Amino acid sequence: MTFEYEATVADRGVDLAFDIAPGETVALLGPNGAGKSTVLAVTAGLLRPDVGRVTLDGRPLTVRGHRERDLHVPPHDRQVSLLAQEPLLFPHLSVLDNVAFGPRSRGDSRSGSRAAADQWLREVGIEELADRRPAQLSGGQAQRAAVARALAADPKLLLLDEPMAALDVAVTPALRQTLRRVLAERTVVLVTHDALDALLLADRVIVIDGGEIVDQGDSSEVLARPRSRFTAQIAGLNMIPGTWRDHAVLTAAGMRVEGHPGDPQPHEGDPVVAVFPPSAVSVFLDAPGGSPRNALEVTITHLEPHGGQIRVRTAELSAEITAQAAAELDLAPGSRAFFVIKATEIAVYGT
């Protein structure tokens, strides 16, 4: 009784497999072009993979190149509904009728589906736009209507491709709460670029890069202990990959980074990562001498304000220091500096 996915789309270089338990919400993270929308398209039946097998509750939806007979259940018959990256509201229907489209197609009465649609419009906060045509909506309003339409379809498996895109800060927290409530009992695949969405809405995270799964697991776990560069980026953590040599991480550039290895203890020669938050980094202009700390020489690329602090970025790493400290150090893009991190602040684990 789960959703099982396994498919290869050769010309997009997307080849991966995963399962989802009933009622589980999985966040799909990954850089642009990683293959997230491709996975959703295959699941919704909009794209036939080269080889693959997709089943929902034991029922095969797409089978190709397996020992079973090839099979492709048409999109409308899958009980899978998809909110695509573009809103694509039906231009000839009012906003209300757009949202009522799903219930109506499922066979609900006209008045019943309208009532349901009305309810969903209220949830996303655009009930007063019910009678408008899609062409008369702003970008964010259209996005909200599309979210309402996808939710109203009430499928067995719900696929959401960046549902919070184009929304303003005033509505995001409220909609996030709505989704949190609505998605709780459903089986959902949620594509997002936002770690907070992943943390709050998803039980599990799957990180894709270059068409492959590079990291996955419990949402908070994955975001706290990222194993891939992209996951670290989304979690806002610094990551230095290397090999475990002589109780330290040896990077490809030949640098040694000391940290405290977690459980299980890595073995000599294992590929490992050193991970630490920007707030654990102190910035100096000169290398501080003779202490058990890591000092990495870096070139600063830019400075950003970040929640009252200043984030100092280099090509690979970032540090968070007070505005005062930044002013005292007289940092500017192009400056050379040292990032100093206490070994105890660095987590090291195998990948």
Ligand X SMILES: Nc1ncnc2c1ncn2[C@@H]1O[C@H](COP(=O)(O)OP(=O)(O)OP(=O)(O)O)[C@@H](O)[C@H]1O
**107, 290, 307, 334: which one contacts its own copies (CB under 8 A)?**
307
Tell me, by CB under 8 A, how many residues bind another protein: 36
**25, 38, 98, 113: which one contacts ligand X (CB under 6 A)?**
38
Read off φ and ψ for residue 237, nearest 5 degrees. -110, 155
125 binds ligand X (CB under 6 A): no
How near is the Cβ of 166 to its own copies at its closest, in Å? 6
Sheet containing 204-209: give its strands across.
Answer: 80-83, 157-161, 187-191, 25-29, 204-209, 212-218
Contact assessment for residue 114 and residue 161, using Cβ atoms and an 8 Å cutoff: no
Read off φ and ψ for residue 261, nearest 5 degrees. -70, 140
Contact assessment for residue 180 and residue 200, using Cβ atoms and an 8 Å cutoff: yes
Task: Please identify, among the stretches 8-16, 32-40, 93-101, 303-311, the one whose residues bind Mg ion according to the rule CB under 5 A.
Answer: 32-40
Smaller CB separation from another protein, 74 or 289: 74
Using DSSP, state whether 188 is helix, strand or coil: strand
- Structure letter (DSSP) for residue 91: T
Tell me the Cα Rg of the chain.
24
**48, 72, 313, 342: which one contacts its own copies (CB under 8 A)?**
313
Strands (E), 221-331: 238-245, 248-250, 256-257, 260-261, 271-276, 281-284, 293-306, 309-314, 318-321
Task: Please identify, among the stretches 73-81, 98-106, 282-290, 305-313, the one whose residues bind its own copies according to the rule CB under 8 A.
Answer: 305-313
- What count of other Cβ atoms lies within 10 Å of the Cβ of residue 115? 13
106 binds another protein (CB under 8 A): yes
The residue count of the chain comes to: 351
Task: Please identify, among the stretches 3-11, 137-145, 276-284, 299-307, the one whose residues bind another protein according to the rule CB under 8 A.
Answer: 3-11
Residue 165 contacts which entry, ligand X, its own copies, Mg ion, none (Cβ below 5-8 A, type-dependent)? its own copies
Residue 302 contacts which entry, ligand X, Mg ion, its own copies, none (Cβ below 5-8 A, type-dependent)? its own copies
138 binds Mg ion (CB under 5 A): yes
Which pair of structure tokens corresponds to residue 169? 């800060």
Binding residues for its own copies, per CB under 8 A? 30-34, 36-37, 85-86, 137-141, 143-144, 161-162, 165-171, 173, 177, 180, 193, 195-196, 199-200, 220, 229-230, 233-234, 236, 277, 279, 301-302, 304-308, 313
